[in-house]
Amino acid sequence: MAATKKRTTKKRKTRKKKTRSLGRKLFLFLLTLAILAAAAIAIYKYKNLLLPPHQKESPNQLIAIESILLAADVQLGSDLETFSLKNETEHWKAHVTRKQKKCIIKALKHLAESQNVEVNIGKEKTVKSQLMQLITLSQNEQPYMKLILSLKKQKKAKKPKVIRKPKPAKAQSPDPVEEPPASTYWESYDGPRVAIIIDDVGMKPYSALSDLTGIHIPITFAILPFQRYTKTCANELHKNHYEVMLHMPMEPTNFPVANPGAGAIFSSFTPLKAQETLSEALRQVPHVTGVNNHMGSRITASKKLMPSLVQTIKEKNLFFIDSRTHASTIAYQTAKAQGIRCAERDVFLDATMSYDFTVKQIAKTVSTAKKQGFAVAIGHPYPSTMAAIKDKLPALKAQGISFVFASDIVK
């Protein structure tokens, strides 16, 4: 009996030792895992910290901010600094002009209205003789970014000395002569009509369009507002008897991944605010004769906003071209119902940025024009697109195709 008790006690002790040993191994295994996980997180944060802001693995909100800065022409390499993370909050410092700052703040306010983001705009302060403004972005009361806008110092231009001349005698001013429309400077058309519209003009100087203006064929240029060369391009094109349109930025369905840029209309706007935004953009583009949409798949499908936008276009006696960036658009039907001159895009020339693709699309445009009597094609000032137009349009013109302005197509 005593021997049996000894054996039982011995077995229990052996089991306890094994259990303790397994417990220690499990504890060491879990501890190792925890250390490895912590190390991985630390390495990730350290590597992410060293990257410039536009290369970091960022949530959608940070991508949206980056898009806004790009749209305001902020150079991410030279004009943007990044600071170390504190409590998971991004710290960015952008060196901007007053015009860029105004565009950025306006776009951030739009972001706040449309993406459930809280934007706290601080007052402008002078720090070490530098004007700065702090903007804090939060979501669910948790700040995820602090953006500092630092104003660039601009050199004041020296005022030239004015030599006063004697005032000439007053002469009677002649009656004002109204300048004829651009189309009167080009030969009359006969046969299938094709209107080529070039979008996204204004981001580069007028000289960048020389391949198109050099062939002396009517082309309509749709100019983005609030860009560096918006006004100079509009003035030069008008001076050389080309037709100018406003390429109106509007919110797409995939915003903020795709950003329409400065001065855009967003779906969160009231009809009145949308009208005011359109009017402000129209004031940016001199000699404008019509309007088409830049992006805008969400807006052109909006029954809330499109009628009021069309009303503004009608009041200013302009025409409208629906770029048809999405199949759900109601823009053309809305414009037609309100009785304004309008048309819709038939062909995109450069959905693929390729010379051969654009050549095929030009042929498709001509074929469409022969079938229905006219066609509207939209392209962009890409080198491949401009080269294809330069090479193909003169020969097509010689074959009897009439290239006309967009205003000659609208009904």
- Spell out a b/e string for 200-228, using b for 16 or more CB atoms within 10 Å of the CB, else e: bbbbeebeebebbbebebbbbbbbbbbbe
To which H or E segment does residue 14 belong?
Answer: helix 2-50
pLDDT digits (tens, 9 = 90+) for 92-132: 788 888 888 887 887 777 777 766 778 888 888 887 778 88
**Among the ranges given (84-93, 96-105, 138-147, 316-325), the one the predictor scored with the smallest mean pLDDT:** 84-93
CATH topology of domain 188-408: TIM Barrel (3.20.20)
CA distances from 296 to 163, 200, 220, 239, 300 (A): 52, 14, 20, 30, 6
Report the pLDDT value the prediction gives residue 374, as an integer from 0 to 100: 95
Report the pLDDT value the prediction gives residue 155, as an integer from 0 to 100: 58
| CB half-sphere exposure, 338, CA atoms < 13 A | 22
User: How far apart are the C-alpha atoms of 218 and 177, rounded to whole Å?
Assistant: 24
> CA angle, corner 277, sides to 316 and 121, nearest 5?
160
Report the pLDDT value the prediction gives residue 118, as an integer from 0 to 100: 82
pLDDT digits (tens, 9 = 90+) for 250-286: 999 999 888 999 999 999 999 999 999 999 999 999 9
pLDDT band at 161 (very low <50, low <70, confident <90, very high): low
Peptide bond into 256 cis (omega under 30): yes
Please name the residue that has the structure tokens 């003035």.
235
pLDDT of 330 over the 80 cut: yes
Report the pLDDT value the prediction gives residue 170, as an integer from 0 to 100: 45
pLDDT digits (tens, 9 = 90+) for 28-84: 766 776 676 666 556 555 544 444 444 444 445 666 676 677 666 777 666 777 665
Report the pLDDT value the prediction gives residue 121, as an integer from 0 to 100: 86
**Among the ranges given (187-196, 216-225, 241-250, 379-388), the one the predictor scored with the smallest mean pLDDT:** 187-196
Mean pLDDT of the chain: 82
Mean pLDDT calculated for residue range 328-345: 96
Report the pLDDT value the prediction gives residue 180, as an integer from 0 to 100: 46
pLDDT band at 177 (very low <50, low <70, confident <90, very high): very low
- Crossing angle, helix 383-398 and helix 355-372, to 10 degrees? 40
User: How far apart are the C-alpha atoms of 26 and 173, rounded to whole Å?
Assistant: 99
DSSP string spanning 195-226?
A: EEEEEEETSS-GGGGHHHHTT----EEEE-TT
CB 388 within 8 A of CB 355: yes
Domain boundaries, the chain: 61-72+98-117, 188-408
Report the pLDDT value the prediction gives residue 10, as an integer from 0 to 100: 61
The pTM of this model reads: 0.59
Report the pLDDT value the prediction gives residue 6, as an integer from 0 to 100: 57
Residue 259 DSSP symbol? -
Mean pLDDT calculated for residue range 167-171: 46
Mean pLDDT calculated for residue range 203-210: 96
Token duo for residue 383: 């080198």
pLDDT above 90 as % of the chain: 52
User: How far apart are the C-alpha atoms of 291 and 343, rounded to whole Å?
Assistant: 11
pLDDT of 173 over the 50 cut: no
Mean pLDDT calculated for residue range 225-252: 96
